[in-house]
Amino acid sequence: MNQLSTRRDPFADLLRGFFVRPVDFDFNGTLQSPEMRVDVKEADGHFEVLAELPGIDKQDIHVNIDGQTVSISAERKQEKEEKDGERVLRTERYYGKVSRSFQLGHEIDEANAKAKFTDGVLELILPKKAASPTRRLTIE
């Protein structure tokens, strides 16, 4: 019986990962992918959105609503400096942006939408826009 084996190159797999998704390193040197995890729930008359944004200040979060489309973007700015007396041993800085856009099944009433940011979680309450009645045109 003849078996075929596939040999994988771990270096090629690592490089492929760099080009498929953005990556960064945290302060411990671990590789991580900057992403935003989002939960969307539909309730009677509104949508609830929870987005995880750890380590981001609320003034660096932007939410845009356009009809059925909701866009969330955030910018992370981190700096860390380690000193030994007056001598700087290591300085690390990270600036990055993450964003998500998605369409909901109903237009959103932007005027009554609410956003709250607590403990790294953005909570959006997005009321559905009342359906406008259809109007029949009279042909002249």
DSSP secondary structure letters along 58-75: GGGEEEEEETTEEEEEEE
Q: What percent of the chain has pLDDT over 90?
A: 36
Please give the tally of structural domains in the chain: 1
Residue 75 confidence (pLDDT): 86
Q: How far apart are CA 34 and CA 109, in angstroms?
A: 30
In a domain, 112, yes or no: yes
Domain range for 94 = 35-127
pLDDT beyond 70 at 69:
yes
Domain membership flag for residue 136: no
User: Checking DSSP bridges between strand 114-118 and strand 38-43, what pairing results, if any?
Assistant: unpaired
In a domain, residue 8? The reply is no
The answer to the question of residue 6 being in a domain is no
The tokens of 8 are what?
Answer: 């994988």
Q: How confident is the model at residue 40 (pLDDT cuts 50, 70, 90)?
A: very high
Query: Does 64 reside within a domain?
Result: yes
Q: What amino acid is encoded at 109 in this protein?
A: D
Region 98-102 average pLDDT: 89
Give φ, ψ of 111 to 5 degrees: -65, -30
